[in-house]
Amino acid sequence: MAPSLRDLQLTRVAGAGADDDAGDLEDVRLLDSYEDGDRFSRIEEGMRRVQVSISGMTCAACSNSVEAALKSVNGVLRASVALLQNKADVVFDQSLVKDEDIKNAIEDAGFEAEILPEPSNSGTKPHGTLLGQFTIGGMTCAACVNSVEGILRNLPGVKRAVVALATSLGEVEYDPTVISKDDIVNAIEDAGFEAALVQSSEQDKIILGVAGIYSEMDVQLLEGILSHFKGVRQFRFDRTSKEVEVIFDPEVVSSRSVVDGIEGESNGQFKLNVTSPYARMTSRDVEEASNMFRLFTSSLFLSIPVFLIRVVCPHIPLVYSLLLWRCGPFQMGDWLKWVLVSLVQFVVGKRFYIAAARALRNGSTNMDVLVALGTSASYFYSVCALLYGAVTGFWSPTYFETSAMLITFVLLGKYLECLAKGKTSDAIKKLVELAPATAVLLVKDKGGKCIEEREIDALLIQPGDILKVLPGAKLPADGVVVWGSSYVNESMVTGESVPVSKEVNSSVIGGTINLHGALHVQATKVGGDAVLSQIISLVETAQMSKAPIQKFADFVASIFVPTVVVLALLTLLGWYVGGAIGAYPEEWLPANGNYFVFALMFSISVVVIACPCALGLATPTAVMVATGVGANNGVLIKGGDALERAQMIKYVIFDKTGTLTQGKATVTTAKVFAAMDRGEFLRLVASAEASSEHPLGKAIVEYARHFHFFDEPSATKDADNNSKDSISGWLFDVLEFSALPGRGIHCFIHGKHVLVGNRKLITESGISIPSNVENFLIELEESAKTGILVAYDNNLVGILGVADPLKREAAVVVEGLGKMGVTTVMVTGDNWRTARAVAKELGIQDVRAEVMPAGKAEVVRSFQKGGGLVAMVGDGINDSPALAAADVGMAIGAGTDIAIEAADYVLMRNNLEDVITAIDLSRKTFSRIRWNYVFAMGYNVVAIPIAAGVLYPSLGIKLPPWAAGACMALSSVTVVCSSLLLRRYKKPRLTTILEITVE
């Protein structure tokens, strides 16, 4: 199953400052319970997303044609075609459409298509569970849906079940060791509905390069091995590429077992390596550029003699006399030009005719139609002129060189486009290169003793594998250190240059570099679930997306070619009729020419010089470069539409805790107001909070532990992983613990009621707050600290003051945004006094305090109603509704997965400077896009009239068709190179942020 955006999750970055404290610290509560992240899914249940490689597209009209063909397929929900990447992203209803239908629709539109392999999903679900999709017939209403969901969720081994009425599909996550897919089908049918398995994540696919095949006997041996391989469902061997595609059942066999089995059964004759989907796409791009260069050089080799015959040879008497030698009805020079240009026109230029025929067959027009029309006009006119001369003896000039040079220049332009487009995708290539090729697997016996070290392909790593990582080597997978200590350079993923210390139980990210000591790492996330894979997926998805401004270009491209053809016909008619009525002198005509020939040359120039490619490339090239630049600077952008909105942001709303603050709560004050010593008070509070998962609770336990045992904070950095047994020696037994979201916690200790929380919790419980306690609480809040009240046996016994330091760059970023014309707002669930104190320190004028999680989205909407686009910056689960509601959501990269899913921008470095980077990059990108449109539109607005000859009567300026072809070839390259200038982008530094002014 293709990964949807809801499957994209970024692991918290170790050492980023909010590893264990990413939740909201306000209101002294646990993180709110929340539904599954599916509410932020951008793909409906029962839908499938595939990416398709498309060959033969040359301009925006081609991509529009493919997009229209896909959208016309019944069951296709969305289809987006990326001209630069030669790919389509299609979302469709699996009950109505199959992969082959998508491929056939594209091929029927006249292009070649290939469904791209999906990233491995082996890591997208908790280890040991599978995801299956089932068709469910007989459902007629929401009650049926609830009934089926209830039945599925009550089945043993089923972790999650979601049923969609509209698509008659159910998605079930289950443990195959407890329940099988057949059991699920039977349970649905027993309830009176029809059911069948559509697909499951248990069916996986792998593409293997096979070395050691030299004959048909070897092929038969390979196919024989796979035919008898248990768990292999299908396979297909490509004799050209020597790659075998294997679809297998992971419930029965793993990808590594498939590789080991083939190599073992062949007695070592076959050596297999896993082919990365990204490597296949890169090789396809290189092949396209290589093919275009080959066509260009062939056309150039054949066109140069034609050009020499026309321009140089007349000045060399001996050679010219040979060319004038008559051979049959024509001169030798005419024969040579006809043969050479025919090869260029119909052999080298065959692709233009094929592509033009495809477009016309599907009722669309593109750049290939213009090229085929222009070259055919000059070629067939020249042939007709020769035949007419042979019959009548009146020899008109021929323009064979126009056709040849035109095709040569067009192919040169296409080759340069391939090179330039390759540059725009450098970010993806660099990210792919970060992934290690191999890994050292430690094979251990049942006693845990290492019995073997073996090198395996990194794509064959499985969750649970123990991997050995030597100093200087790349971490082969996301995982946890189980032995050793070292420092790891994570800058290629997080952007942070300072190496991060790694010890036992520390998390590591695949692709980062181990600097010093050797490590043993247990792989936890592989395939599509790894951080690096998710970053690549995010960047790819963003690069394939279309910014709203591109709709204008797509519309212009769709009517561009017909408009140009009409203009060319009007040019032909105008000059021909003008000559016939004597509107211009005969001296303007070429030697032995006539009015039709004179008019035809202007008409061909109009057809040739017009270029819709530049319009189609103006936006996607800039978006591709910008998303790559953003990724290199730690800012992941999820789409061109996000870029377009971000450059118009008027308000930025910051969540306080974990966003403006460091998200690391520390207890700064502990005051007792009862006949209880401080040690006993802290022991009481720590006992109550020991069961809490809230960051404040952990901070209190850590403070109390330090008070009793003088532990350093570093010694308790893994306190949240400590078991109750490790602290039972000094904490009281707790009964009936319960978290009260938005207020605090309560429990019973020694049979007496204990409350730990905010003012609201205490007053709701009927406990009065003495004036001296209230004054102390106000003093804490006015100093930007959160006061936590503690009640024992219905009496207020003390207060804890908790501080969450501001990030060092927060105040400067707020001021910098103001310089950029952006108004900053702070929203928090904390009390007004604390909120105002923090806002005053930051220089934020607009504060919204005591806001519950759902209320944050309402704050966003209130600013939207006031006018202007709103950005929300947050990190916690409770920020997700606001991130989704905002025009632009920016999630702190070290925050929670749900927040990241809901956002449009992911700030990987957990640094607020990147908010300014995101807005500044968006503004510069759209400034570049506007310039691209100026270049593209300006080129056509200026070039077409010149090609039509408007300057010829007054200035004698005209463009011969071959020169018009050269101009056309360079126009789209100019736009692409303009976009590539974004690669020089440098993000604003803290020292220069305050110098930013609104223009």
Q: Are 831 and 838 within 8 A, CB to CB?
A: no
DSSP assignment of 659-686? IIB-S--EEEEEEE-SSS-HHHHHHHHH
Give CA–CA dist 203/205, Å, rounded: 7
Q: Are 504 and 481 within 8 A, CB to CB?
A: yes
- Find where tokens 């009650």 sit: 143
Residues 6+ apart with CB under 8 A from 197: 132, 133, 134, 181, 185
Q: Which of 19, 21, 93, 655 is catalytic?
A: 655
Q: Regarding beta strands 888-892 and 478-483, do their DSSP bridges make them parallel or antiparallel, or are they unpaired? A: unpaired
- Which two structure tokens, joined as six digits, stand for 897? 């997965």
What order of strands is seen across the sheet that includes strand 158-164?
Answer: 158-164, 169-174, 130-137, 194-200
Residues making up the chain, counted from first to last = 999
Pick from 857, 876, 817, 854: which is nearest to 663 by CA? 876
3-state class of 329 per DSSP?
coil
- Which two structure tokens, joined as six digits, stand for 132? 């299956």
- Which two structure tokens, joined as six digits, stand for 705? 């532990």
H/E stretch holding 636 = strand 635-637
Pick from 275, 242, 292, 278: which is nearest to 55 by CA? 292
955 class by beta-carbon count within 10 Å (0-12 exposed, 13-18 middle, 19+ buried): exposed
Helix, strand and coil in the chain, % to nearest 5: 50, 20, 30
* Count helices and strands in the chain by DSSP H and E runs: 32, 36
Active site annotation includes 36: no
User: CA separation (Å) from 518 to 75, 326, 440, 521, 549?
Assistant: 53, 83, 12, 10, 51
Q: Are 513 and 436 within 8 A, CB to CB?
A: no
Residues 6+ apart with CB under 8 A from 965: 374, 405, 406, 407, 408, 409, 410, 608, 609
- Find where tokens 């498309």 sit: 54
Bridge partners, residue 806, by sequence: 661
Active site residues: 655
